[in-house]
């Protein structure tokens, strides 16, 4: 009896050990899975590989001057899209054409696997009329992108009658309805630097994207000298 009991205890102890080891293995597997997810999340948010740069304009195009739509910062700050006129105020807006597909994977195959779906956007914009004024001139702009094939290119309303309160804001970011920018202008193009419009952000630019519309709300005139959209990619196993 004693021997049988010893064997039974040994079997039970063996089962217990197996259960513990199994638990440990599952725990390790789970942690490995969690780590892979974390690594992927980290990778998706970082540019660690390459970029596809779309130069919508640069110095080779000269520059585009936009008059301010409003004469005071208060008027400009309170602007919201509300009518068709708001989308194309004469002399205060420009459309800049893209050259690179904003949607890498849509229909064509083989599909690309290296894009993170994140985008950075920089612009070279002169503001005002002094090289390094203090305080910096503050002006406000609105940024839209279009979508050919939608009911309305510049409006997101999904029916024939547009709601002018539904602008197709650039990259789907609410801040682009009325964005504050600061800068300088020394002979327009003597000093150049970058305004950061987006850095490593997800974007909602659709397959029908062909133009960015930039509207100068004011109160300063602005000169657009460059505009770049940088599609980030990483290098991983495809």
Partner 1 sequence: MQLINLTTQMVEYDGAHCLFPGIGAYQYKDANYKFEIVMSNAEQVDALRQQISTSAGDTDSLLGTTSDGVQLLLHAFAQLTVGLHQASSLAQLREAAEPFNELATQFLAKVDSGEVRLPYIDKGRESVMAEIEQRATKVADILANP
* Residues contributing to the site for partner 1 (CB under 8 A): 84-85, 87-88, 93-95, 97, 146, 148-155, 160-162, 210-211
Q: In the bound complex, what is the minimum distance in angstroms from residue 171's beta carbon to partner 1?
A: 20
Q: In the bound complex, what is the minimum distance in angstroms from residue 165's beta carbon to partner 1?
A: 14
Q: In the bound complex, what is the minimum distance in angstroms from residue 83's beta carbon to partner 1?
A: 8
> Which one, 87 or 122, has the nearer CB to partner 1?
87
> Which one, 88 or 194, has the nearer CB to partner 1?
88
> Which one, 95 or 192, has the nearer CB to partner 1?
95
Cα 47 from chain centroid? 13
Q: Annotate 156-183 with b (16+ C-beta within 10 A) or e (fewer).
A: beeeeebebeebbbbbebeebbbbebeb
State both tokens at 162.
């547009």
| CA 26 – CA 23 distance, rounded (Å) | 5
Q: What are the phi and psi torsion angles at 28 (to 5°)?
A: -65, -45
State both tokens at 206.
């659709």
> Which one, 160 or 174, has the nearer CB to partner 1?
160
Q: In the bound complex, what is the minimum distance in angstroms from residue 60's beta carbon to partner 1?
A: 15
Q: In the bound complex, what is the minimum distance in angstroms from residue 188's beta carbon to partner 1?
A: 22
Alpha helices in the chain, H assignment, sequence order:
2-44, 73-77
Contact 126, 223 (CB under 8 A): yes
> Which one, 118 or 211, has the nearer CB to partner 1?
211
């Amino acid at each position: 009896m004693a021997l049988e009991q010893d064997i039974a205890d040994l079997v039970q102890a063996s089962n217990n050990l197996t259960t513990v080891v199994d638990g440990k293995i599952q725990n390790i597997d789970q942690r490995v899975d969690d780590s892979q997810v974390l690594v992927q999340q980290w990778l998706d948010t970082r540019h660690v590989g390459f970029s596809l740069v779309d130069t919508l304009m640069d110095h080779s195009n000269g520059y585009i001057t936009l008059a301010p739509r409003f004469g005071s910062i208060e008027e400009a700050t309170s602007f919201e899209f509300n009518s068709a006129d708001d989308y194309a105020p004469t002399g205060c807006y420009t459309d800049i054409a893209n050259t690179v597909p904003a949607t890498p994977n849509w229909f064509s195959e083989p599909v690309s696997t290296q894009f993170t779906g994140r985008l950075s956007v920089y612009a070279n914009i002169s503001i005002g009329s002094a090289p390094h004024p203090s305080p910096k001139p503050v002006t406000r702009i609105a940024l839209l992108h279009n979508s050919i094939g939608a009911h309305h290119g510049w409006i997101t309303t999904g029916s024939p009658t547009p709601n002018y309160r539904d602008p197709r804001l650039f990259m789907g970011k609410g801040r682009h309805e009325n964005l504050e920018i600061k800068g300088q202008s020394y002979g327009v193009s003597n000093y150049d630097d970058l305004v950061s419009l987006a850095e490593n952000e997800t974007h909602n630019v659709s397959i029908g994207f062909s133009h960015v519309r930039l509207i100068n709300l004011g109160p300063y005139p602005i000169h657009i000298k460059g505009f770049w959209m940088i599609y980030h990619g990483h290098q991983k196993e495809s």
